[in-house]
Chains A and B, each alone.
Chain A
Amino acid sequence: MQPMNTTALLFMIISEFAITFLTVYFFVKVLRSDKKGEPDSYEEE
């Protein structure tokens, strides 16, 4: 398989890693955030 050039590979890894990290970070933060007292916005929580 033709390898990617170093600049492109680095650029891709850094960008995709940063985006994936931030996506997971914020979503996990949502899952772990403290619930505020009732009445809140959510029917089931």
Chain B
Amino acid sequence: MSTNKESWGTRVGLILAMAGNAVGLGNFLRFPMQAVQNGGGAFIIPYLVCFLLLGVPLLFVEWATGRYGGQFGHHTTPLTFNRMGNRWFWKYIGVFGIFSNIAIASYYCYIESWTLSYTIHSAIGSFNHLDQHGVAEFFNNYVDISTTTTGIPFEAIVFFVLCLALNVWVLCRGLSGGVEKVAKIGVPLLIVFGVFLAVRGITLKAGSMGAAFDGTVGLNFLWTPDFTSLTNPKVWLAAAGQIFFTLSLGQGSVQCYASYVKHKDDIALNAMSAGWMNEFVEVVLGSAIIIPISIGYFGIDKVVELTRLGGLGLGFRIMPYLFAQWGTLLSAMAGIAFFGLLFFAGITSSLAMGTPVMSFLMDEFNWKRKSSALAFGVAVLVLGLPTVLFFQQGVLDEYDYWAGTVSLVLFATFEMILFSWVFGMKKGWKEITHGADIKIPVVYRYIIKWITPFMLLAVFLGSLVRPANDEWNRISLKGWKLHNESIIGQLKHQGIGPNKSYFSDKFFAERDGQVDSVYVLNGSKYICVTDTAGGIKTPLRYKIMDRDIPAVHCGDFLHTGDVLYTGSVVNRVFYIDLARILLLSVFVVIGVLVYMAFRKRKKSGIC
């Protein structure tokens, strides 16, 4: 008999928790980057279209799937899918609904810990009197566990463990006593912080506080629509991907939260409320902070170039410097507000990732709530430590690609096919509309059956064979060069460059460039190179081991394949494959646990 007696405290609490699940770091860091990289205003139209044709249908399907499974005591997707699909393999597809949460949480909680640390650093004025380079170096030192910014040894690990401990403590208190309480405080607070920063960003004036441009310049860039980009598949792919990420779809967490809703209670209105709340935070607030503020200081061209650093780069390497231009008090307030809202956005999402893992252990193996929460914490710590220790070697990016991107699309595609075609729209529509407090337009019945699955397949296939430089017109039966970030390209390690072997006695320059400097600092050796490939200058810094010997000098011009240094080299590709093996192992282990759980239920006749 399951020990799982969880339930929500209030309906508003459920909606705030579900909104908190959706609202995350991506609302403030990823969305603005996607918008800038995909032509600004051009992005909003496909984004909103994808929300209506992909996001809303998936929300209905995931809420309905969750509530359906909850009737039978299934609070996670493996056994819910088993019941809906009635074939043996559906429960293993459902494994994604647990795997994705652990795998994403393992690096997400690490980034969340950065936001906690940076909130504290903002409060104590760590960024005051640092120039732009100094703030970027602060971040580099923070993620380098051999250095510390506060004097705390292994600071990044300390904050990671602290953040995990906080997550576990909240999860131990259950849904209504823990998760819901955090959502009721965190979601309104992040909205208040977001409004404060959005007003600050929009009202930024050129010439004031070091700003070169008005905040409206960034808004102009973001909102000027370019209708020609609607024919560019790259923009649609990016928009669809952002909708996935922002609504936490294809992860299994929505189904889990919804499984604690009684069958007679509404899900349709709940889903709409939570979904639109996420869109408000993302589009209204998220677009009014980083873009206006960064463009206000750097201008459009520079910010477009800086977005190549990614949202994390802009958020942690640049924003503290910009806030520091506002004077001691305002910069502290802005830093606390910005990193504070990121922290609340992050923790409400990581709690949603923990809940399916706990629910599975409680449902299927009768674990108590505290032991389940602790198990989640330990699993995330063990799986997450490689992202901390090998951050510079790309382990976090690898987890994010496979668990945080590919898995979501794959799982969502399968669940949509299961719901619409296997379970069937007759039963499915009945499930969605049962107990509904709103009338869902009937057109959604046909969108869920025909349009959303097609869009999902298109997104998946597009991601699989994405062409190099996003030149979709080059696709032909004769073949085409794949994008490095296409799924097949990633599997083939395309773009790994000349350092293809796991271990070597030489490290080769990965791009053309020029050596800026070769120096020793605090006992560590560095080679700094300006990468000039593609006509854009990107500074790169290589930290090398004591026993490694630089093979270049300051001022040397480099070509791809030139020897940069010699020694005992462990190449990035080793860490990438290690990350993939770890993720695959986690998937297999969960699959085995699902098999054991299924056998147990079958024996007791409650499958």
Residues of A within 8 A of B (CB): 1-5, 7-9, 11-12, 15-16, 19-20, 22-23, 26-27, 29-31, 33-34, 36, 39-45
B81 contacts partner chain A, Cβ-Cβ < 8 Å: no
Identify 19 residue pairs between A and B in the complex whose beta-carbon atoms are under 8 Å apart, listed by A's number: A1-B216, A2-B220, A4-B223, A7-B225, A8-B224, A15-B44, A19-B280, A23-B276, A26-B273, A27-B277, A29-B437, A30-B269, A30-B437, A36-B435, A39-B262, A40-B262, A40-B265, A41-B262, A43-B176
- Pair A23/B219 contact, Cβ less than 8 Å: no
> Could you say which residues of chain A place their CB within 8 Å of the CB of B220?
2, 4-5, 8
Picked from B12, B214, B265, B276, the residue with its CB within 8 Å of the CB of A22 is B276
B214 surroundings in chain A (CB, below 8 A): 1-2
Closest to A25 in B: B276
Query: With the chains together, A42 CA to B266 CA distance in Å?
Result: 12
Give bound CA distance, A31 to B224, whole Å. Answer: 36
Closest to A13 in B: B223
Q: Measured between alpha carbons, how far is A26 from B260 in the docked complex, in Å?
A: 21
Q: Max chain A CB contacts within 10 Å: which of B176, B261, B265?
A: B265
Residues of chain B from 37 to 51 with CB closer than 8 A to chain A in the complex: 41, 44, 48
Q: 14 more A-B contacts (CB under 8 A) besides A1-B215, A19-B280, A33-B437?
A: A4-B219, A5-B220, A7-B225, A8-B219, A9-B223, A20-B280, A23-B279, A23-B280, A26-B273, A29-B438, A40-B265, A42-B10, A43-B7, A45-B10
In B1-42, the 8 Å CB interface with A consists of 7-15, 41
A residues near B11, Cβ cutoff 8 Å: 30, 33, 41-42, 45
Interface centre among B7, B11, B260 (most CB of A within 10 A): B11
* Closest A residue to B70 using CB positions: A41
- Whole-angstrom distance from the CB of A5 to the nearest CB of chain B? 6
Q: State in angstroms the CA–CA spacing of A31 and B438 once bound together.
A: 13
Q: What's the A-B contact tally at a CB cutoff of 8 Å?
A: 116
Docked CA distance A19–B437 (Å): 20
B194-210 vs A: 1/0 string, CB under 8 Å? 00000000010110000
Q: Is the CB of B283 within 8 A of A41?
A: no
| Given A23-B276, A33-B269, A41-B14, A16 and B284 contact (CB-CB distance below 8 Å) | yes
In this assembly, does B402 line the interface, its C-beta being within 8 Å of a C-beta of chain A? no
Given the complex, which residues of B lie within 8 Å of A33, measured CB to CB? 11, 266, 269, 437
Of the candidates A11, A26, A36, A44, the one having the most CB atoms from chain B within 10 angstroms of its own CB is A26
Shortest beta-carbon distance from B359 to chain A in Å: 15
- Report, nearest first, the 5 A-B pairs whose CB atoms are least far apart: A8-B223, A26-B273, A12-B223, A23-B280, A8-B224
Known: A23-B277, A36-B264, A44-B10. A11 touches B224 (CB 8 A): yes
In the assembled complex, the CB of B501 is this many whole angstroms from the nearest CB of chain A, namely: 50
Q: Is B213 an interface residue (CB 8 A)?
A: yes
- Interface flags for B258-278 (1: CB within 8 Å of A; 0: not) read 001110111001101100110
A29 touches B273 (CB 8 A): yes
Please tell me the number of chain B residues within 8 Å of chain A, measured between CB atoms: 46
Are A27 and B15 in contact, CB atoms less than 8 angstroms apart?
yes
* B32 shortest CB reach to chain A, Å: 14
Q: Does B582 contact A (CB under 8 A)?
A: no
Task: State the Cβ distance, B109 to closest chain A Cβ, in Å.
Answer: 28
Decide if B528 is an interface residue (CB 8 Å cutoff): no
Partner of A30, one of B12, B219, B264: B12
Q: Is the CB of B272 within 8 A of A31?
A: no
Q: Does A41 contact B7, Cβ atoms closer than 8 Å?
A: yes
Q: Determine whether the beta carbon of A30 is less than 8 Å from that of B10.
A: no
Q: Which residue of B lies closest to A21 (CB)?
A: B276
Q: Report the bound CA distance from A9 to B15 in whole Å.
A: 31
Q: Chain B residues with Cβ under 8 A from A45's Cβ?
A: 10-11
In the complex, B217 has a CB within 8 A of chain A:
yes
The chain B residue sitting closest to A34, CB to CB, is B437
**What residues of chain A lie closer than 8 Å to B205, measured between beta carbons?**
1
Cβ of A2 to closest chain B Cβ, rounded Å = 4
How far apart are A4's CB and chain B's nearest CB, in angstroms? 5
Q: CB distance A29 to B283 under 8 Å?
A: no
Within 8 Å CB of B48, what residues of A? Answer: 15
B511 CB to nearest chain A CB (Å) = 36
- CB atoms of B9 and A42 under 8 A apart: yes
Tell me the smallest distance from the CB of B514 to a CB of chain A, in Å: 37
Shortest Cβ distance from B280 into A: residue: A23
Cα distance A11–B35 when bound, in Å? 15
Among A31, A34, A40, max chain B CB count under 10 A is at A40
CA distance A11 to B44 in the complex (A): 10
A1 to B216, CA, bound (A): 8
From A29, which residue of chain B is reached at the shortest CB distance?
Answer: B269
Residues of B within 8 A of A9 (CB): 223
Complex Cα spacing A36 to B176, Å: 19
Contact B216 A43 (CB under 8 A): no
B467 to chain A, nearest CB (A): 30
**Minimum distance in angstroms from B407 CB to a CB of chain A:** 28
